[in-house]
Amino acid sequence: MFENKERTEVSSLGEFGLIDRIKKKFPIQNTSTILGIGDDAAILNNQDQEILISTDLLLEGIHFDLSYVPLKHLGYKSVMVNLSDIFAMNAIPQQITVSLGFSNRFSLEAIDEFYEGVLLACKRYKIDLIGGDTSSSQKGLIISITSIGFAKKEKIAKRSGAQNHDLICVSGDLGAAFLGLQILEREKSIYLENPNIQPDFENKDYLIERQLKPEARGDIIEILESQGIVPHSMIDISDGLSSEILHICRASDLGCRIFEEKLPIDSLTVSTAHDLNLDPTVCALNGGEDYELLFTVSVNDFDKVKLIPEISIIGHMSPKDDGACLISKGNNQYDIIAQGWTNFK
């Protein structure tokens, strides 16, 4: 992965040199950012809006594998994962802080590559990088990102806000990122056994992209706003649909009914799952890392939601005593459980 290109030691710049270099690459874009990188703390102001804060810690070997994740993609994805949490409150992220721990295994060029991904994400999503921390670590790469967003109080969608009979909606399609990971892992093990064999990703671009370069669904938040839809509850799908819908059920003290035939699954996900002897529905339910939005809306919004192509209605909320269940294509009913959800047919 690390080709022997030009290599500059980060120590030749020093910590402050590095911070200065980062600051220059990231111009401030939002009026809510009063003061960015350079002082003991950043200053924000967004008048009458609520402030939302979310943070993530990403560890090499646990959350990412640098043998197949390019650093630029890692920078981009790290930001996406974090922005997704703010969008999942029906809010708009505007600032992030990025803290890094890395060893001298990482050259300045490697760190630059990481920040290129961060910069691309910041430009696309109009996010200001307003601070962070930089430290050396003994071995692996450590990334911590915090994002800050804003929303009007009455628009915020919590996990606990679902109401009985609400329609359950999901953006995009599910299961593709999980299959992308399976393919990357498979090619990695083939490569480790025989380094002369080049990875074979033919026709799997969509799956690989969903794994390496997910997009946080800010577009969905904009569409809901423009259609005058305020979701009752919302969560982003990081651990898989099953696990996330259970969070909404638990927090809202309700049950749910989800219909297998309504699950949005891309045709490439279906065919690749079959090739790998996996059930596409199980991939969609438990795969994880889709970073799509799962939310509930009032049944009164049905006519509006059904016209939005990016959104699928997959079921509805129900009384708690009914439990959380999946209705299969064969019209059987199964309990949704958070993980290890196999052989339900």
Q: Which residues bind Mg ion (CB under 5 A)?
A: 133
DSSP one-letter code for 275? H
Residue 132 interacting partner from ligand ADP, Mg ion, none (CB closer than 5 to 8 Å by kind) = ligand ADP
Residue 19 interacts with ligand ADP (CB under 6 A)?
A: yes
Closer Cβ to ligand ADP, 133 or 261, answer by number = 133
Residue 212 interacting partner from ligand ADP, Mg ion, none (CB closer than 5 to 8 Å by kind) = none
Which position among 3, 40, 48, 193 is part of the footprint of ligand ADP (CB under 6 A)?
A: 40
* CA 261 to each of CA 60, 118, 143, 314: distance values in angstroms, whole numbers, following the listed order: 37, 37, 39, 8
Residue 134 interacts with ligand ADP (CB under 6 A)?
A: yes
Residue 74 interacting partner from ligand ADP, Mg ion, none (CB closer than 5 to 8 Å by kind) = none
Which residue lies nearest Mg ion, judged by its C-beta? Answer: 133
Triad 206, 70, 87: Cα angle to 5°: 60
- Pairing verdict, β 324-327 and 255-259: parallel
Specify burial of residue 249 (Cβ count, 10 A radius: 0-12, 13-18, 19+): buried
Residue 75 interacts with ligand ADP (CB under 6 A)?
A: no
- Residues in a beta bridge with 53: 148
Residue 20 interacts with ligand ADP (CB under 6 A)?
A: no
The least distance separating ligand ADP from the CB of residue 27, rounded to whole angstroms, comes to 13
Strands (E) across the chain are located at: 33-35, 43-44, 50-59, 92-102, 128-136, 142-151, 167-171, 233-236, 255-259, 293-297, 311-318, 324-327, 333-335
Residue 131 interacts with ligand ADP (CB under 6 A)?
A: yes
Closer Cβ to ligand ADP, 14 or 319, answer by number = 14
Distance CA 159, CA 90 (A): 11
Closer Cβ to Mg ion, 9 or 133, answer by number = 133
Segment contacting ligand ADP (CB under 6 A): 37-45, 198-206, 262-270, 300-308?
A: 37-45
Which position among 75, 101, 117, 132 is part of the footprint of ligand ADP (CB under 6 A)?
A: 132
Closer Cβ to ligand ADP, 44 or 169, answer by number = 44
Contact 129/98 with Cβ under 8 angstroms?
yes
Which position among 88, 100, 167, 229 is part of the footprint of ligand ADP (CB under 6 A)?
A: 100
Considering only CA atoms, give the Rg of the chain.
21
The least distance separating ligand ADP from the CB of residue 91, rounded to whole angstroms, comes to 22
Distance CA 341, CA 345 (A): 11
Closer Cβ to ligand ADP, 15 or 200, answer by number = 15
Residue 38 interacts with ligand ADP (CB under 6 A)?
A: yes
Triad 132, 138, 141: Cα angle to 5°: 50
Segment contacting ligand ADP (CB under 6 A): 45-53, 125-133, 195-203, 263-271?
A: 125-133
- Residues in a beta bridge with 39: 37
Q: DSSP 3-state assignment of 279?
A: coil
Closer Cβ to Mg ion, 20 or 133, answer by number = 133
DSSP one-letter code for 341? -
CA neighbor of 325 nearest in space, from 260, 256, 263: 256
Residue 303 interacts with ligand ADP (CB under 6 A)?
A: no
Residues contributing to the site for ligand ADP (CB under 6 A): 19, 22, 37-40, 98, 100, 129, 131-134
